[in-house]
Amino acid sequence: MTEQDFIPKTYSKSIEKGSVTWASPSNIALVKYWGKKKNQIPENPSISFTLNNCKTTTTLHFSKKENQDSFSFDVFLDGDKKDDFKPKIETFFKRIEVYLPFLKDYHFTIGTSNTFPHSSGIASSASGMSALAMCLMSVEKMLSPETTTDYFNKKASFLARLGSGSACRSVEGDLIVWGEHKAIEGSSDLFGTKYPYDVHENFKNYQDTILLVDKGEKQVSSTVGHNLMHNHSFAEQRFKQANENLSKLIDVFKSGDIFAFIEIIESEALTLHAMMMTSLPYFILMKPNTLEIINKIWQFRQNTGLPVSFTLDAGANVHVLYPEKDASEILEFIKNELVVYCQNGHYICDIIGFGAKQL
Ligand code: DP6
């Protein structure tokens, strides 16, 4: 498919007003997206677990308006008007207008809420942008009821990507690939797709306990970080490595070798942060407690042989990943030894999920 396939020709219905609600989850990358080309095209393919409990619920009210010269919308978070969210949504609308030509025909009221605290340091862009993309696709489906589910999901992911790259991996679950990879059939730079091959039982219901080490605003946004991969000394090698790690994961998912899985995902997490530390300007998003937690995880794994592991996103929080069958022992360890490193003792227990749902 190409971008052109997402430009609608005509709509068969017209509609005055309505509303729609979607809940969409966050996701955690195992092979990381870090570095992008023009129009939100990733430099390398990535793969993620869709989450279940960390999600955004968005209700979109729409009503026809007279003037069709500009976008018109209001945004609310937990019922409070949020004008500071508007520039990001305005940019998003501009980027997707050609694919959703009805955007200027309506006034939109966007009401959103997250299951995780806004100031948790958990990025809400993946769940937030995917929830909004799902709502907009529901409007398009009302205008064009013949839209198939396959097209709906692909276009929702395509639109979400234009809001925030990682958001395109939140539309479906449980394991989503985004970015063309030669060994993964159907993989695309334009949208996320379900991982198409065998996945061993060991990876079903995988657990993700998110340790909230630092709830502050990040000093460097992901968007700035991605841009620092341009002219980065290690960029080419890094993009190649991500492709190789994804190739290796294909065998690992099939065989169920959790320790091989751990080696790949922990290396991916540390490589992501190594890219930040070696860009110009350089920066560090990990905090001392991030490192304390990583060391504790390694010690516990060595002492017990239990397959507990970590990954990081672009921040100080630690995602502790482990299989369901060892959940009780590992959760005990987390509570006894890791929660002390969390800001105000806060952590979130999550599990692999299956994508966005209409409410
Ligand atoms: C480290 O998707 O937040 O979490 O496309 O600029 O919105 P933009 O970036 P974003 O980047 C996520 C980076 C990451 C890795 C990942 O999720 O793959």
The answer for residues whose C-beta is within 8 angstroms of residue 86's C-beta and 6 or more apart is 73, 75
The protein residue whose alpha carbon is closest to atom 6 in ligand 1 is 223
CB contact at 8 A, 282 and 233: no
Candidates 222, 277, 290, 313: which one to mutate for ligand 1, based on the most atoms within 8 Å of Cβ? 222
Q: Which is the closest atom of ligand 1 to the Cα of 312?
A: 1
Q: Which is the closest atom of ligand 1 to the Cα of 129?
A: 7
Q: Which is the closest atom of ligand 1 to the Cα of 28?
A: 17
Distance from residue 66's CA to the centre of ligand 1 (Å):
37
pTM of the model: 0.97
Count of helix runs (H) and strand runs (E) in the chain: 8, 14
CA distance 96 to 44: 23
29 lines ligand 1 (CB under 6 A): yes
- For tokens 């995602």, name the residue: 319
Q: Which is the closest atom of ligand 1 to the Cα of 123?
A: 3
CA distance 154 to 63: 26
- For tokens 């068969």, name the residue: 12
DSSP 270-293: HHHHHHHHTSSS------HHHHHH
Residue 120 is predicted with a pLDDT of: 66
CB contact at 8 A, 40 and 129: no
The protein residue whose alpha carbon is closest to atom 7 in ligand 1 is 164
One pLDDT digit (tens) per residue for the chain, 359 residues: 999 999 999 999 999 999 999 999 999 999 999 999 999 999 999 999 999 999 999 999 999 999 999 999 999 999 999 999 999 999 999 999 999 999 999 999 999 999 987 766 676 899 999 999 999 999 999 999 999 999 999 999 999 999 999 999 999 999 999 999 999 999 999 999 999 999 999 999 999 999 999 987 777 888 899 999 999 999 999 999 999 999 999 999 999 999 999 999 999 999 999 999 999 999 999 999 999 999 999 999 999 999 999 999 999 999 999 999 999 999 999 999 999 999 999 999 999 999 999 99
Distance from residue 145's CA to the centre of ligand 1 (Å):
33
Residue 121 is predicted with a pLDDT of: 67
CA distances from 85 to 76, 81, 92 (A): 9, 9, 11
222 lines ligand 1 (CB under 6 A): yes
Candidates 34, 166, 319: which one to mutate for ligand 1, based on the most atoms within 8 Å of Cβ? 166
Q: Measured in Å, how far apart are the chain's first and last C-alpha atoms?
A: 29
Residue 218 is predicted with a pLDDT of: 74
49 lines ligand 1 (CB under 6 A): no
Residue 119 is predicted with a pLDDT of: 64
Q: Which helix (H) or strand (E) holds 23?
A: strand 17-31
Distance from residue 87's CA to the centre of ligand 1 (Å):
19
Structure tokens at 6: 């997402």
- Cα-based torsion angle of the residue sequence 285, 286, 289, 293 in order, rounded to the nearest 10 degrees: 140
Q: Which is the closest atom of ligand 1 to the Cα of 126?
A: 2
Distance from residue 166's CA to the centre of ligand 1 (Å):
5
CA distances from 341 to 90, 245, 293, 306 (A): 38, 30, 7, 21
Distance from residue 228's CA to the centre of ligand 1 (Å):
13
| Angle subtended by helix axes 149-163 and 86-96, to nearest 10 | 130
At residue 191, the 3 state secondary structure works out as: coil
44 lines ligand 1 (CB under 6 A): no
Q: With 0-12 CB in 10 A as exposed, 13-18 as middle and 19+ as buried, what is 95? A: middle
CB contact at 8 A, 285 and 316: yes
CB contact at 8 A, 130 and 24: yes
CB contact at 8 A, 290 and 312: yes
Residue 124 is predicted with a pLDDT of: 81
Q: With 0-12 CB in 10 A as exposed, 13-18 as middle and 19+ as buried, what is 69? A: exposed
Task: Please count the other Cβ atoms lying within 10 Å of the Cβ belonging to residue 57.
Answer: 18
271 lines ligand 1 (CB under 6 A): no
32 lines ligand 1 (CB under 6 A): yes
